[in-house]
Amino acid sequence: MAEYRSEILICGGGVVGLTTAYVLAQRGVRVTVADVSATGQEASWAGAGMLPPGFRMNADSAELRIRSYSHSLWPSFVQKLREQTGMDNGYVVCGAIEFPDSHQTCQSLLQSAVNDGVVAEQQLSSQLRPMVPGLGNEWQSGVWLPQFAQVRNPRHLQALRAACVRLGVIIAEHQASLRLERDEQKLVSARSTTDVFRFDRVLVAAGSWSSLVLAELGITIPVKPVRGQIVQLRMDRLPFRCVLEVGRRYLVPRPDGLILIGSTEEDVGFQKANTADGVSSLLDFACSLVPELRQASIVKMWSGLRPYSSDELPLLGQIGDFQNLFIGTGHFRAGLQMSPATGTILADLLTDNEPSISLDGLRADRFL
Ligand SMILES: Cc1cc2nc3c(=O)[nH]c(=O)nc-3n(C[C@H](O)[C@H](O)[C@H](O)COP(=O)(O)OP(=O)(O)OC[C@H]3O[C@@H](n4cnc5c(N)ncnc54)[C@H](O)[C@@H]3O)c2cc1C
């Protein structure tokens, strides 16, 4: 049995765990990431990589505050990752058009963008058609958000993992039956069937599975999986270059001709699957928005389990009676967007530093 010793053990190698490890390692902290599977293969891999902007780091809304903080960090974060690894994660400011769904008007979309401090312009049919030539006739107006960006999740995770390794982070994958072990009010080690990990502090960043890890320690958090399905299409000529959104459904074009259609929200436990119902509803949505997508080829489809929390906001920081137990989970639909801010906040908390934004509405213990 191999034994590893680090200052901080991170259980879970999704975007939250790897980003936190990356920020900590840059500060000279000795970190190990232990995952029951391969890192970066769950929700963080499955997501669409949309990065909506925000410019209100002092907002009363916790969601807007952490989104804005993350938005401010993304460009320098990407540049540093690229310098350290030579890898391109596909980050690009591509813009987005939001179309009102049945509960919205263009005016309400514009108002919410203004509240977020975001540049937004209402576009009528004649302005939309040059941007999306194949747009369906019933889509007569939308809101253009030029600061909206995207990243290619699998590439971003590969770059994060490579940067962590370069900085000396130990990445221990396929740790079957990984369990935290206590010595009275302190957690002291984690043991799998093959290895043992000793640490000063531990961060549970196991996405949808975090509630199971904490339940073993007698701590209940309202986090559960919510499945999202995605269908990936290919067109020889990309019919639009910005993200198109209607409510919680969207099309994300990649510069190499791929288009992601997302996504469903399904409360089905830990079952990953594509269903006839889910896939047909995504295809109907895509073809109603841009009818020429009927000619696109279907490349593949997949699903992922978003870590949903009951107020749809992340839980960050120390939790329960164990002084050295921290969590970072519950990011639901925005874990990629929020990852630079999340990793920085968690690294601050784990090293007794004050985070740059208020954590009101984001603290890990708000449901206890
Ligand atoms: C279809 C879909 C579309 C999405 N689109 C977007 C988007 O456009 N923009 C955006 O910002 N977000 C998006 N998201 C949300 C985003 O992907 C998630 O919020 C984010 O990936 C959560 O990251 P995580 O690290 O918490 O969890 P995960 O990526 O799920 O990682 C958890 C890790 O923990 C490991 N693990 C499990 N149990 C244990 C254990 N006991 N011990 C140790 N490790 C364990 C797992 O193997 C896994 O590697 C989307 C998600 C889905 C599913």
Which atom of ligand 1 sits closest to the CA of residue 229?
Answer: 1
Residue type, 254: R
Strand order in the sheet with 2-5: 2-5, 195-198, 186-191, 179-183
Q: How far is the CA of 13 from the centre of ligand 1 (A)?
A: 9
Test site for ligand 1: of 4, 9, 15, 279, most ligand atoms within 8 A of the Cβ = 15
CATH 3.50.50.60 boundaries in the chain: 2-88+153-222+310-350
**CB within 8 A of 234, min separation 6: which ones?**
257, 258, 259, 296, 297, 299
The protein residue whose alpha carbon is closest to atom 31 in ligand 1 is 14
Which atom of ligand 1 sits closest to the CA of residue 49?
Answer: 8
CATH of domain 2-88+153-222+310-350: 3.50.50.60
**What are the structure tokens assigned to 258, written together?**
């791929």
Strand order in the sheet with 149-150: 50-51, 149-150, 92-93
Q: How far is the CA of 207 from the centre of ligand 1 (A)?
A: 5
CATH 3.30.9.10 boundaries in the chain: 96-146+224-308
**CB within 8 A of 39, min separation 6: which ones?**
13, 14, 17, 18, 33, 157, 161, 171, 173
From the centroid of its chain, how far is CA 250?
Answer: 16
CA distance 19 to 22: 5
Q: Which fold has domain 96-146+224-308?
A: D-Amino Acid Oxidase; Chain A, domain 2 (3.30.9)
CA distance 311 to 357: 19
Neighbouring-strand partners of residue 60: none
In this structure, what DSSP letter does residue 213 have?
H
Per-residue pLDDT of the chain (368 residues; tens, 9 = 90+): 899 999 999 999 999 999 999 999 999 999 999 999 999 999 999 999 999 999 999 999 999 999 999 999 999 999 999 999 999 999 999 999 999 998 889 999 999 999 999 999 999 999 999 999 999 999 999 999 999 999 999 999 999 999 999 999 999 999 999 999 999 889 999 999 999 999 999 999 999 999 999 999 999 999 999 999 999 999 999 999 999 999 999 999 999 999 999 999 999 999 999 999 999 999 999 999 999 999 999 999 999 999 999 999 999 999 999 999 999 999 999 999 999 999 999 999 999 999 999 999 999 999 99
CA distance 142 to 144: 7
